[in-house]
A and B are shown apart, each in its own frame.
Chain A
Amino acid sequence: MKIVVYSESPVFLRMGAAVAQSFGGELIGISTSQDAKFFNKLYLIENTDEEGIVDLVVSLTPDVFITGNVRKDRAIAGRVAGRLKLPIITDVLSIKLDGNKAMINRSAYSGMGIAVIETELPLVMTVASTQLQPKQIEPSIEKVKLKEGRIKVIGRKSTSSGANISTADIVVGVGRGIQNKENIKYAEELATALGGVVGGSRPVAAELGWVPEDRQIGLSGLRIRPKLYIALGISGQPQHIAGIRDSKIIVAVNTDKNAPILENADYLIVADAVAFCKAMLKKLGK
């Protein structure tokens, strides 16, 4: 069995490698980093042309192509599956192989459900998460210059704001209910007092730009797993909930005690978000 693994994200590349190793077989990695030592063979790519990566994966005719869940990974997964007319299963939580049959659990309905899926190899999958850790394997390395496809990248701007909310222990999430950009500073002060970082719902991060774009929490943004998540003025759209499900404790602050987020909160404080921040800062002696 031939398994090919690629991800733009080092974290997902490790996850994909761990899943691939659990299957066993011929393990082939594709990465820009030679530190990706989890495979029998590593294609070290010098450029990251999306079409070039798709062509490379397709040329290897894998039984399983595994990638991660970041947006670039998903685009590549869909194209590889489309070109080879393969089944594609995204957001895989667990997978069992039995001959060429695959039984898969994947997250569905914005993370509210787990779909139990049956399909057959060859297949394309994207990993949502795994507890598995990959073993180190010294790969044979082949450098590859990918061909340039029909899509030219003419600019790239990092949205990185220096905080990694995916791994933070305490996250203060901001929604439209905080009212305006000026009020974000109260969330920032609260996060600092707690030793945490500020994130935001998709509208606040990606549309309104009240918090940096790389801090959008939700189904299509980042999924976080802090021990404490405080949601300020967030109503609780399913897409947002999908990003916070793995939090240990969820506190919601909302002026509406019937806000849908109550269903997914341990504590709902019925209050204005800014008044709450001020009171918290006072109590925390900051």
Chain B
Amino acid sequence: MNIVVGFKIVPDDQMIKVVGDKLVTDAPPKISTYDKNAIEEAIRLKEKFGGKVTGITVGSNDRKSIREALAMGVDEVIAVISNKIDVYATAMAIVENIKPLNPDVVLFSEMSTDSGTSALPAYVAEALGLPYVSNVKSLKIEGNKVIADRGMVSYVETIETTLPVVLSVGGEINTPRIPSVKQIMESSKKPVKEVKFDIQPKVIVKEVKPLLVNRKKIVIEENDIEKAVDKLLEYLKSDGVL
């Protein structure tokens, strides 16, 4: 099976801080949270059906993050260097690089932690002319047939389609593996293909401002929980919410 998985290298969302009137986003890079679920699912498909997993990332080409994907079990990574990217430019960069591979399955996660548009997998599916199934929480492939459960929050939808297909997965689909020291060592031997791709994006981000919600941040710490609750109830009454 010919498997492609897209992953995004983003600033660590737990380290993004509001400082004064600025949102400081130059946090250490990491693979976006649910993208690891996409990588895990890609590797599981390979373990079941054989074949190859090609990873593709656009934008940041942080070595450590790419190594992590390889250590998890991705065979090769295409790192597309591009400065100005929106959904359109990212999709075009991906399509140009994966179309020649004729993938059976293209996996993404359902949402990145930085821009979080959920739009990229759908955009890529259309550009490749393939069916798209979003928010997959469980996946079964038998021969050419794909059966998936989509978690839509207020309902779960079971669908059937055929390969080739583009999928986006959520955090429920699996638990991403943690590579062993040996796998991390060996990942340095795996190929990383760096390519340049430049196209005029359609969406320009002028600035990112912090969304400030001023909270009181009052810590109530008492040895006696009942005392703590008394204090809290008083506060909540004066706030007019109880």
Task: From known contacts A112-B210, A263-B217, A279-B225, infer whether A75 and B205 are also in contact, taking CB-CB under 8 Å.
Answer: no
Determine, out of B60-68, B77-85, B120-128, the stretch whose residues face the partner at the interface: B120-128
Total interface residues in chain A, CB < 8 Å: 87
Q: Is A14 located at the chain interface by the 8 A CB criterion?
A: no
- CB < 8 Å: which of A70, A152, A251 contacts B153? A70
Q: Is B219 located at the chain interface by the 8 A CB criterion?
A: yes
Complex Cα spacing A117 to B147, Å: 38
In the bound complex, residues from chain B placing their C-beta under 8 Å from that of A155 are 157-158
Complex Cα spacing A254 to B161, Å: 45
- CB < 8 Å: which of A82, A108, A257, A262 contacts B91? A82
Chain A positions 145 through 158: 1 when the CB is less than 8 Å from some CB of chain B, otherwise 0 = 00001111111111
Q: Is B235 located at the chain interface by the 8 A CB criterion?
A: yes
Question: Which label, helix, strand, loop or mixed, suits the secondary structure of the A interface?
Answer: mixed
User: Would you call A279 and B156 a contact (CB within 8 A)?
Assistant: no
Q: Is A77 located at the chain interface by the 8 A CB criterion?
A: yes
In the bound complex, residues from chain B placing their C-beta under 8 Å from that of A206 are 137, 151, 170-172
Chain B positions 78 through 116: 1 when the CB is less than 8 Å from some CB of chain A, otherwise 0 = 000000001110010000000000000000001101111
Chain B positions 131 through 152: 1 when the CB is less than 8 Å from some CB of chain A, otherwise 0 = 1111101000000000100111
User: Would you call B155 and A157 a contact (CB within 8 A)?
Assistant: yes
Given A82-B122, A119-B202, A219-B116, 5 more A-B residue pairs with CB atoms under 8 Å apart are A70-B153, A151-B161, A159-B156, A214-B154, A266-B235
Residues on B facing A (Cβ under 8 Å): 13-14, 16, 18, 23, 25, 33, 86-88, 91, 110-111, 113-127, 131-135, 137, 147, 150-162, 170-172, 202-211, 213, 215-221, 225-226, 228-230, 232-233, 235-236, 239, 241-242
